[in-house]
Amino acid sequence: MSLSGIKIRIIGAGVGGLAAGLALAQRGAVVSVFEQAGVISEVGAGIQVGPNGVAVLRALGLESALREGAIRARAVELRDHRAGARVLRLDLDALGPDQPYFLVHRADLIDLLASAARAAGVRVRLLQKAEGVVPGKAPRISLANGAESRADLVIGADGVRSVVREVLNGVQAPFFTRQVAWRAMVPNVIGQGPEARVHMGPGRHIVSYPLRGGETLNIVAVQERAGWAEEGWHREDDPDNLRAAFSGFGGEVPEMLAAVERVALWGLFRHPVAPVWHRGHVAILGDAAHPTLPFMAQGAVMALEDAWVLAEELDRAGQIEAGLAAYQARREGRVKRIVGAANGNAWKYHLRFGPLRAAAHAALRLGGAVAPGAMSRQFDWIYRHDVTRGG
């Protein structure tokens, strides 16, 4: 069906919601995005955009603008926690010149998508908190201010606490993984170059990478512990708690952590992939459909892929329900594989038994020395998947 004139309402002005709004508006839909906040903004945070996400941004006409504000990553390095000795270096340039991998501040990506969406005719409505959705041929959104909005299609891009997901699937309680994460932004005091580094230690690890011309470092530190922390990364913590948790780390880590002045802490929860993604001209995408742990750096990229596939399948289908069914069929298997990979990845960084950790690191060093290409190609199923070419 043609999307020309189809009225679509999207709940949530994050990466997925704005990308979907842009992709749908470029195909002729009349799109409004409802955002509960008073401004479209993101707290300090970086994200990694692999080649599969860049493919979507390229198809949306945004790759050049992305390159202006992002850093092209050249490698991912795994390091031992004690002195920071390199265990393995994955060369991202080996992916090829047409497969760039970028490090970008989340706020910069949001600004890029919001500007492009508005230029394409998307209306972004702020201070519009959705409290409920009623599916049907003309689905209805109930807003906290007492207003209602009807459309031909409603899309929930409203994150892990999605109102729309609950309407479609009921309550699905996540469970605490016994892992917490701190997130901080600091000056690049160690002069880290264009690469992501993972410092691996017993029961914990730290990821760091540069942003915004290399002047800033994004830090994510994960620790296994029984103590619960709430989900969502807007809760502030004492930086000394972070430093204490990683006091046994050497190399460049102490200098990085000494520069932390503000830090957010959140609990890592595992959510099931939603079994129902659409009903009655209502659909979900991104974290609303398939929240993922951060251990594959694919959360935002999966939202970009969702946005493209949803718009493409709606555009080629004969009716809305058929387009939504094709969207879920095309996406569900891939996101389940991504979520599963992320669920199983943290333990590889957190080996506690010293001899086992030493043996594992030795195997990684050997693999990197003997067959560096093979070490990188294990991720081809993620990075070389291109939804804009039918993937």
Q: Which residues are catalytic?
A: 209
The token duo for 23 is 């992709």
**By three-state DSSP, how is residue 389 classified?**
helix
Least Cα distance to 263 among 231, 244, 241, 248 occurs for 241
CB atoms inside a 10 Å sphere around CB 296: 21
Least Cα distance to 182 among 294, 319, 55, 288 occurs for 294
**By three-state DSSP, how is residue 194 classified?**
coil
**By three-state DSSP, how is residue 151 classified?**
coil
- For the chain, where are the alpha helices, taking DSSP H only? 15-25, 51-59, 63-69, 106-119, 163-169, 239-245, 253-258, 299-316, 320-343, 346-349, 354-370, 372-377, 380-383
* Measured distance CA(387)–CA(391) in Å, rounded: 4
Nearby residues of 174 by Cβ (< 8 Å), 6 or more positions away: 160, 231, 269, 270, 271, 272, 291
Q: Is the dihedral of CA 259, 242, 224, 80 positive or negative?
A: positive
CB atoms inside a 10 Å sphere around CB 335: 22
Least Cα distance to 339 among 391, 380, 310, 301 occurs for 301
Q: Are strands 102-105 and 46-49 parallel, antiparallel or unpaired?
A: antiparallel
Contact (CB, 8 A) for 286 and 220: no
**By three-state DSSP, how is residue 219 classified?**
strand
